[in-house]
């Protein structure tokens, strides 16, 4: 059974979260692996230089900030459409005024 990917950018945003999680736990190789996967599909690339445990925690915070920024804004999820937020439209909680 094959995995049907709906959006590589959504997967990249999820990989940012995974990278931050593993870096915060101290698993440098796994965290950097997820970050490398995320960098393939996102426009803003992150290349951390990690040498100590404190560096891991610093970059985990930075990556988590970027994850929240992308998740909340929704600007990079649908590049073919104009840069609107995800909660606008027909089935939104707060629909557009006519």
For residue 38, count other CB atoms closer than 10 A to its CB.
26
pLDDT at position 88 is: 47
- Where on the phi/psi map is residue 5: left (φ > 0), alpha (ψ -120 to 50), or beta? beta
What does the pLDDT read at residue 87? 46
Cα separation, 35 vs 48, in Å, equals: 9
C-alpha distances in angstroms, 30 versus 1, 22, 24, 59? 26, 6, 11, 14
- Residue 97: per-residue pLDDT: 58
Q: What's residue 21's pLDDT?
A: 95
Q: Are 56 and 50 in contact (CB under 8 A)?
A: yes
pLDDT at 75: 52
Task: For helices 8-25 and 28-39, give the axis angle rounded to 10 degrees.
Answer: 160
Tens digits of pLDDT across the chain (98 residues): 455 567 788 889 999 999 999 999 999 999 999 999 999 988 888 888 999 999 999 999 999 999 998 888 765 444 444 444 444 445 555 555 55
Q: Is the pTM of this model over 0.75?
A: no
């Amino acid at each position: 059974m094959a995995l049907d990917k709906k959006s590589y950018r959504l997967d990249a945003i999820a990989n940012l979260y995974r990278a931050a999680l593993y870096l915060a736990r101290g698993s440098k190789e796994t965290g950097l692996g997820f970050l490398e996967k995320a960098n393939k599909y996102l426009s803003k690339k992150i290349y951390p230089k990690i040498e100590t445990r404190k560096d891991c925690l610093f970059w985990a915070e930075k990556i988590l900030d970027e994850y929240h920024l992308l998740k909340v804004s929704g600007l990079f999820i649908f590049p073919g459409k104009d840069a609107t937020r995800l909660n606008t439209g027909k089935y939104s909680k707060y629909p557009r005024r006519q």
